[in-house]
Structure 1
Amino acid sequence: MTTFTIQDDFILDGQPVKLISGALHYFRIVPEYWQDRLEKLKNMGCNCVETYIPWNYHEPKKGQFDFTGRKDVARFVRLAQALGLWVILRPTPYICAEWEFGGLPAWLLADDSMRVRSTYQPYLDAVDAYYAELFQVIRPLFFTHGGPVLMCQIENEYGSFGNDKNYLKAVKRLMEKHGCDIPMFTSDGGWREVLDAGTLLHEGVLPTANFGSRTDEQIGALRQFMHDNQIQGPLMCMEFWIGWFNNWGSPLKTRDAHEAAGELEAMLKQGSVNIYMFHGGTNPEFYNGCSYHNGMDPQITSYDYAAPLTEWGTEADKYAAFREVIAKFHAFTPVPLSTPIQFQGIGELTCTNRVSLFNTLSSLTQPIATDIPQPMEKLGQGYGYILYRAHVGKARELAKAKLADCDDRAQIFVNQKLIATQYKETMGSNIPLTLDHPSDNVIDILVENLGRINYGASLVSPHQRKGIKGGFMLDLHFHTGWQQYCLELNNVEQVDFTQDYQSGVPAFYEFVVEIDEPADMFLNLCGWGKGCAFINGENLGRFWDIGPTHYLYIPAPLFNKGKNTVILFETEGRSGSVSLDDHPFIDQPDTND
């Protein structure tokens, strides 16, 4: 039976061990490639793998839990164990991770009084119910039960959000209640203020730090903090940032491999490390998160992170540089790669069907009628789009109409003609309307959830609801009487392509392709505006012409041998070419960060 304790060092089976870990998120990789990515992690020299566990991914609807398929975290951990890797799990209610709402489930926001990451009892009750299910899955994976999991995290960078020690203690108690009998840790930035706020003293919880530069300074701050508070334990950088995430409309961020390798060596000389990210992968479906930098700043579908492995799993320049550094600290034996992976290009695809959203709306969803428009969460919807429809009567000119309190992106149509597109920052500006139908004019408002904020003050619940939260004003009064169509787009097989297509409005486009042997490919989308794409019903994520990426990575397991169906949902009334290629289309040149 394995033993693991935290003393002045990490002590594994009676011997000190330096944990050299890499972050690898099972939820950003197809299960068929978990083995490949873990083998490449081991071959770079790592002896451990770390992953978050996103609550909203496993409980997307309240009380509906899923730990199967791509969500089978237990299988991922067992694969790591079979390769001789140790595992660090971060089953915290909040994860950040540039993931939608930082991993918190959207349905929490149906509660008007919800206060996340706090001692608000309904929030803690929800965490309790989640942990009751989650720990049944992960507890058998702990080293105390013969598994490879050495440590679990309590919360995540809480010192960058709050300083409520009672909340941190409550999360710790819930983890213990549901069977966490292994060492626990916190992780915060590498400076005194956040370490003071985010750690638990005298509770047997190891503090760790997150940073990616100025290693001596930031690990020194952690060392001093531990000394001042008489905390016994090794130094560890739990997130050693070797790249960065990317946002729509900004150049790709990169980092020099040799500079990053130098910082890694400095860290390994002083303690243990978790490389964030070893392999970033892809933000699937609508799970990309959002930053807030003087406005909404949603993250892109790719989570490449300028990591040692690219989004599609090939070695980048940091891989060899890091392997050379790690080899200075311990010997390791590479394992053969067991998963054949090939890249293939087919070329341009021909559109076989197309239909406007307005004409297939009834095949996708049924309206919910309310007097006052409701946000997504009040209607039981978490992600995607929502369309609000109202009949506003006879023909007339209105000098002003406006949306009041709406998130995140709204397109306003009058009689199915686009009048305006507004974002969170421009909501409330006046929109002149010409209602030109003699008797019955229809306003449609298509609102997109671009991704809930995953970090900072705007994480607080009231800011996070999506859709119309105030109302739509005609002149100086709120209009009442709305039909709301929830469009999570988890049923694109129901799009009715027998209906009519009209240009200039949101629409679905279908492409059919025959494939003899599935291989990894890139769906390149030159000329398209904004939307999302599906392969055989699987949501690949978002695309947007503002870049920096203009592709969606499709791993081979998502293709069928034979017939495959690609569906695009595009909201801007634009279309271009679609091709399946063996390389991605990315804005160049890159810029260093």
Structure 2
Amino acid sequence: MTQFAVGESDFLLDGRPFRILSGALHYFRVHPDSWADRIEKARLMGLNTIETYLPWNAHSPQPGTFDTSGMLNLERFLREVAAAGLYAIVRPGPYICAEWDNGGLPAWLFREPGLGVRRYEPRFMAAVSEYLSEVLRIVAPLQVSSGGPVLLVQVENEYGAFGDDQTYLKAVAELIRGAGITVPLVTVDQPVDAMLAAGGLDGVLRTGSFGSRVAERLETLRRHQPSGPLMCMEFWDGWFDHWGGPHHTTSVAEAAAELDALLAAGASVNIYMLHGGTNFGLTSGANDKGVYRPTVTSYDYDAPLDEAGHPTLKYHAFREVISRYATVPDEVPASGAPAPETSAALGSPVRLLAEPWGVWSEQVGMPTLDELDARLALFRTEVAAEGAVLLSVGEVRDRAYVFLDGAPVGVLDRERHDRALMLPHGGHLQILVEDQGRVNYGQRIGEPKGLIGGVQLDGADLTDWSACPINLDAVPGLWNNLDAVPGLWNDIPTATRPPGTPIRGSQTTGGDAATATPAAPVPGVGPTAWRALFEVAEPADHFLSTVAWGKGFAWVNGFNLGRYWRRGPQQTLYVPGPLLRPGTNELVVLELDVMLDPVVHFVAGPSLGPLEL
């Protein structure tokens, strides 16, 4: 039976010194059929361990649920790590940051007034206990002492940057131990005295998170931990991007030199990230340090393996550095080939404002998105006014598209601290509200989304609203159900409809309804759903160009690729090859703004944006 322990100066594997050479690879950011490829490339780079966070909110989107299907199949992932001959580090949180929506904390936690997260609060601890028992039930049988790959389990995550509740930290550690975890536990904090003091636990190995000034960082870590192995649990080799900012990269030579310094000091390392992957769907987080900045869909991170898993110059540089301290396999992974290039027309547009799918409810006052359990929702009311009136909101979280009598009036954006705009007259008011990603770091974690503090018209509260949460999961199947939703096809030209679709709501006086002429649509104006079919000879990774589109979401064969936005920096969406099938495939786009060119273009490679603005 294999034993792993924390020694006086080294990690000990069956009593012998063992240096952890790890790379971060988040199973929930990579298609399951690509896990083995990424893990093998980690091995070929000279790594002996794979690290992953565990996202509570993805596994438990609703209270009482725990999903381990598809991209959330943690057991399959850990077994694939073991099959490659590597070890694993598991970081279950409950908070993970990770530029992930809400830092991994489920939004439903915050619906209970007064519930205190990341501290010793009974209701929060009860939820944490339930989560850890579920997820560690998978991890416990896969520890090294049971023949599995798991060497270490982390307690919380960079807690010293958030709080100093030692009772809470100890309770989390006890829950982990109580769930059958016997391997060593660790904490991680930035190597700052106050953070290491507040985020560490006596008897639990402290590790650091940093990407530069290695000697100084290790010295600080050692002051707080006179004995035990030194480890950088997050060796930052790149960075993430925000919408509207530049694409971040780091110098290959400088990153390799810092890695060399770390290994020369005898420390263990977890490279963050080995392979970043993608924030598919609505999983990307945000930061708010006075200005709200949502994170982009790509989590390329300028990592050694790019978003599609191809080795980069940084991969080869890191491999050479590692070879100075450990045996590296002779085989070198091949460089990636260009992706297939093809185009297809987007057709069958369905305007959301015409008659959105979903259930309307009457509301007294403006409900939050959390109260509707929605990430996108449409609100409507009637405004009685002869002339121009001021529409104002307490706070916008995060983006509100305002329409009057079906025509766009303006956008209120949280990043710009927008709170008001002028309506030219009264009429039928519609507001589409979008959650662009929950804050994942700092004190604004868990805040409600939507139009906060009410909506006023010339200072008087607007209280009579109808609300319709938009089920984004239903968008790809919209064209299969349109006949059951009267009015959805009313403004769609016959030529763009799927074959055999009847025309509903047409003004005819008898005869074949298919000969009726519907009203003309408003071309390209969102929110509008679009659909295209495209052909694939053999499944392979693709890159969807979004340069000519506005802002929205895209699905391939029902899978949500994530958000796009013309402001960049990201201008492509990554399409994993395993999502595609030989022959005909379907792309669906929900455009919230204006689509300049309703054409699909797949391009040869990623376009993640300029390095400077």
Q: Does 1:433 pair with 2:423?
A: yes
Name structure 2 gaps, 5 residues minimum.
483-487, 492-520
Moved more, 22-31 or 482-491: 482-491
> What SS does structure 2 have at the residue aligned with 1:319?
helix
- Contact 2:96–2:103 (CA<8 Å) still a contact in 1? yes
- 1:372 corresponds to which residue? 365
Q: 1:200 and 1:499 mapped to 2: Cα distance?
A: 64
Q: Does 1:404 pair with 2:397?
A: no
Q: 1:517 and 1:38 mapped to 2: Cα distance?
A: 23
Q: 2:113 and 2:429 mapped to 1: Cα distance?
A: 28
- 1:321 corresponds to which residue? 317
Q: Residues 392-445 of structure 1: CA distance to partner in whole angstroms, max 9, x if unpaired?
A: 3x4522432211233111111112221121122555643222335xxxx32111
- Contact 1:355–1:498 (CA<8 Å) still a contact in 2? yes
- Contact 2:551–2:594 (CA<8 Å) still a contact in 1? no
* Offset at residue 340 of structure 1 (A): 12
The one-letter code of the counterpart of 1:313 is G
Q: 1:278-427 to 2 correspondence within 5 Å?
A: 278-334=274-330, 343-362=338-357, 365-381=358-374, 384-392=375-383, 394-424=384-414
> What SS does structure 2 have at the residue aligned with 1:237?
strand
- Contact 1:190–1:222 (CA<8 Å) still a contact in 2? yes
- 1:476 corresponds to which residue? 459
TM-score by length of 1: 0.93
Q: 1:430 and 1:534 mapped to 2: Cα distance?
A: 33
Among candidates 228, 233, 241, match of residue 238 of structure 1: 233
> What SS does structure 2 have at the residue aligned with 1:432?
strand
Q: 1:318 and 1:379 mapped to 2: Cα distance?
A: 45
- Contact 1:398–1:475 (CA<8 Å) still a contact in 2? no
Q: 1:276 and 1:69 mapped to 2: Cα distance?
A: 24
- Contact 1:98–1:290 (CA<8 Å) still a contact in 2? yes
- Contact 2:250–2:302 (CA<8 Å) still a contact in 1? yes
Cα gap change, 1:360 to 1:554, in 2 (>3 Å): farther
Identical residues among aligned pairs (%) = 40
- 2:432 corresponds to which residue? 446
> What SS does structure 2 have at the residue aligned with 1:490?
helix
- 1:123 corresponds to which residue? 124
> What SS does structure 1 have at the residue aligned with 2:432?
strand
- Give RMSD over aligned pairs: 1.9
Aligned length: 572
- 2:60 corresponds to which residue? 59
* Offset at residue 360 of structure 1 (A): 4.5
Among candidates 584, 589, 592, match of residue 571 of structure 1: 592
- Contact 2:282–2:563 (CA<8 Å) still a contact in 1? yes
Q: Residues 92-116 of structure 1: CA distance to partner in whole angstroms, max 9, x if unpaired?
A: 1100011101111111121121221
Moved more, 31-40 or 371-380: 371-380
- Contact 1:512–1:563 (CA<8 Å) still a contact in 2? yes
Q: 2:490 and 2:187 mapped to 1: Cα distance?
A: 55
* Offset at residue 506 of structure 1 (A): 1.2
> What SS does structure 1 have at the residue aligned with 2:311?
coil
* Offset at residue 24 of structure 1 (A): 0.5
The one-letter code of the counterpart of 1:490 is D
- 2:468 corresponds to which residue? 485
Cα gap change, 1:395 to 1:591, in 2 (>3 Å): closer
Q: 2:29 and 2:330 mapped to 1: Cα distance?
A: 24
> What SS does structure 2 have at the residue aligned with 1:435?
coil
> What SS does structure 2 have at the residue aligned with 1:533?
strand
- Contact 1:348–1:578 (CA<8 Å) still a contact in 2? yes
- 1:514 corresponds to which residue? 535
The one-letter code of the counterpart of 2:376 is Y
Q: Does 1:207 pair with 2:229?
A: no
> What SS does structure 1 have at the residue aligned with 2:224?
helix
- Contact 2:554–2:560 (CA<8 Å) still a contact in 1? yes
* Offset at residue 249 of structure 1 (A): 1.1
- Contact 2:310–2:335 (CA<8 Å) still a contact in 1? no
Q: 1:174 and 1:516 mapped to 2: Cα distance?
A: 51
- Contact 1:404–1:427 (CA<8 Å) still a contact in 2? no
Q: 1:246 and 1:279 mapped to 2: Cα distance?
A: 15
Cα gap change, 1:387 to 1:530, in 2 (>3 Å): same
The one-letter code of the counterpart of 1:370 is Q
Q: Does 1:216 pair with 2:231?
A: no
Q: 2:376 and 2:223 mapped to 1: Cα distance?
A: 49
- 1:171 corresponds to which residue? 172
- 1:553 corresponds to which residue? 574
* Offset at residue 5 of structure 1 (A): 0.7
Q: Residues 233-256 of structure 1: CA distance to partner in whole angstroms, max 9, x if unpaired?
A: 100000000111111111111111
* Offset at residue 479 of structure 1 (A): 1.2
Moved more, 77-86 or 328-337: 328-337
- 2:244 corresponds to which residue? 249
> What SS does structure 2 have at the residue aligned with 1:217?
helix
> What SS does structure 2 have at the residue aligned with 1:405?
strand
- Contact 1:346–1:581 (CA<8 Å) still a contact in 2? yes
Cα gap change, 1:180 to 1:266, in 2 (>3 Å): same
Q: 2:63 and 2:596 mapped to 1: Cα distance?
A: 37
Q: Residues 258-317 of structure 1: CA distance to partner in whole angstroms, max 9, x if unpaired?
A: 111110011112210000001101111000010124311111111011110111111111
- Contact 2:311–2:336 (CA<8 Å) still a contact in 1? no
Among candidates 463, 466, 474, match of residue 449 of structure 2: 466
- 2:514 corresponds to which residue? none
* Offset at residue 348 of structure 1 (A): 2.1
Q: 1:591 and 1:571 mapped to 2: Cα distance?
A: 27
Q: Residues 159-183 of structure 1: CA distance to partner in whole angstroms, max 9, x if unpaired?
A: 0001110110111122122222221
- 1:498 corresponds to which residue? 489
- 2:92 corresponds to which residue? 91
TM-score by length of 2: 0.90
The one-letter code of the counterpart of 2:458 is D
> What SS does structure 1 have at the residue aligned with 2:356?
helix
The one-letter code of the counterpart of 1:255 is T
- Contact 1:404–1:471 (CA<8 Å) still a contact in 2? yes
> What SS does structure 1 have at the residue aligned with 2:296?
coil
Cα gap change, 1:415 to 1:187, in 2 (>3 Å): same
Cα gap change, 1:426 to 1:276, in 2 (>3 Å): closer
> What SS does structure 1 have at the residue aligned with 2:39?
helix
- 1:585 corresponds to which residue? 607
* Offset at residue 560 of structure 1 (A): 2.0
> What SS does structure 2 have at the residue aligned with 1:313?
coil
Q: Does 1:531 pair with 2:532?
A: no
